[in-house]
């Protein structure tokens, strides 16, 4: 036989309202505004961030802006080269036009491939300047593996 507390509640049970011990006050106590005014008189003992931390945060954001600028420049240059190759399609067919179109398209594709690699090199350098040696080593390792793969591809 089960106890009265064990198991799920009985079905169709009525909800019971419990009285609130103290009602909320209608108005603020008189001492509260005086206590809030005294808080404004106290001097701030510690700023939000130390000057050294703010300087590193500003340096990190500058590095992120450089990385974003480099990625944006690579994408815009690659897109510009591709659009220029499309514009050359409108010219009459000639060997020099065909060579220019081919060079522009290969250059645009190469730019799209090189831009993330340059970003990785820049991020590794910036992390090294900030003293993040572990992440700098990881970035250098990835760049080394990428160089090894490209070198092996040229040998084949």
**pLDDT tens sequence across 114-149:** 999 999 999 999 888 888 899 999 999 999 999 999
Total domain count for the chain?
A: 1
Judge contact between 60 and 132, C-beta under 8 A: no
Q: Residue 70: which residues within 8 A CB-CB, separation 6 or more?
A: 115, 118, 119, 122
Q: What is the pTM of this model?
A: 0.55
- Three-state DSSP class for residue 147: helix
17 in any annotated domain: no
pLDDT digits (tens, 9 = 90+) for 7-18: 666 676 666 676
136 in any annotated domain: yes
Cα–Cα dist 86/76, whole Å: 15
101 in any annotated domain: yes
- What is the extent of the structural domain holding 84? 62-155
134 in any annotated domain: yes
């Amino acid at each position: 036989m089960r106890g009265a507390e064990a198991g799920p509640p009985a079905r169709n049970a009525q909800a019971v309202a419990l009285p609130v011990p103290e009602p909320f006050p209608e108005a603020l106590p008189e001492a509260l505004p005086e206590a809030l005014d005294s808080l404004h008189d106290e001097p701030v003992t510690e700023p939000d961030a130390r000057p050294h931390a703010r300087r590193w945060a500003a340096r990190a954001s500058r590095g992120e802006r450089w990385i974003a600028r480099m990625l944006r420049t690579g994408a815009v240059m690659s897109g510009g080269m591709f659009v220029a190759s499309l514009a050359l399609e409108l010219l009459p067919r000639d060997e020099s036009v065909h060579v220019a179109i081919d060079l522009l398209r290969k250059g645009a594709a190469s730019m799209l491939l090189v831009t993330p690699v340059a970003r990785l090199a820049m991020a590794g350098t910036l992390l090294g300047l900030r003293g993040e040696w572990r992440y700098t080593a990881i970035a250098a390792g990835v760049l080394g593996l990428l160089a090894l793969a490209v070198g092996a591809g040229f040998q084949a």
